[in-house]
A and B are shown apart, each in its own frame.
Chain A
């Protein structure tokens, strides 16, 4: 049974950076694609970007280009999402999620981490 376990809650100052981890267990990490999705308080889901660990290739939503970096460490089966130049609007729960594959990705997220609350406040 594949599980994604994320790092704990963070409180950050405006202008700083945050790095959230997502450790996979119970499967073959390198064969997954991992996406990051965030949800501001009381708001909807927002896709940030994804990484294919076996290739080390990431792509990002235009909104976050230049501010977000998604990486993966195959040796520890862990994906990371780093967001820089934080502002109050970045206060949200950040989720990692595995993309379902059926003879290739179908761009649906079947396994989710538990979420990491990031609070940006002075």
Chain B
């Protein structure tokens, strides 16, 4: 099972919006609505930001939103803030297993 494809980096200025893509196949992203997104700051455990493509856990700001079209899922961060600078990972259910993306480093300029 191959990893999902994410851009290695993304950036935006405070207040702007940035979108991170996550491309898989019909066997994972395209086949199920079980796409999740995680935020990871250096030295910390990942934090769940989005599940089931577009749902936010309690406590996650509504600046974070998710969507999916075909085999590609996306995470959009609106109103960028300095604390949003982190690594972001997507994951998807792939039929009895879970696969992650390679990660995207988000820089707030």
Q: Which residues of A contact B (CB under 8 A)?
A: 35, 37, 44-47, 50, 59, 61-62, 95, 97, 100, 102, 106-110, 112-115
Contacts and interface: CB of A to CB of B under 8 A. Distances in A.
A47 B98 contact: yes
Contacts, number: 67
B108 interface: no
B57 A110 contact: yes
Interface residues of B, number: 26
Contacts of A100: 48, 51, 57
Given A44-B100, A45-B40, A45-B100, 20 more contacts: A37-B46, A44-B89, A44-B103, A45-B46, A45-B91, A45-B103, A47-B98, A59-B96, A62-B1, A97-B46, A100-B48, A106-B36, A106-B51, A107-B34, A107-B36, A107-B92, A107-B98, A108-B52, A109-B48, A110-B51
Mostly helix, strand, loop or mixed at chain A's interface?
A: strand
Interface of B: 1, 3, 32, 34, 36, 38, 40, 45-48, 51-52, 57, 89, 91-93, 96-103
Nearest to A62: B1
B100 to A, nearest CB: 4
Contact of A106 (B34, B47, B96, B101): B34
A109 B57 contact: no
Given A45-B100, A61-B97, A100-B57, A112 B36 contact: no
Given A62-B1, A108-B51, A109-B36, A44 B102 contact: yes
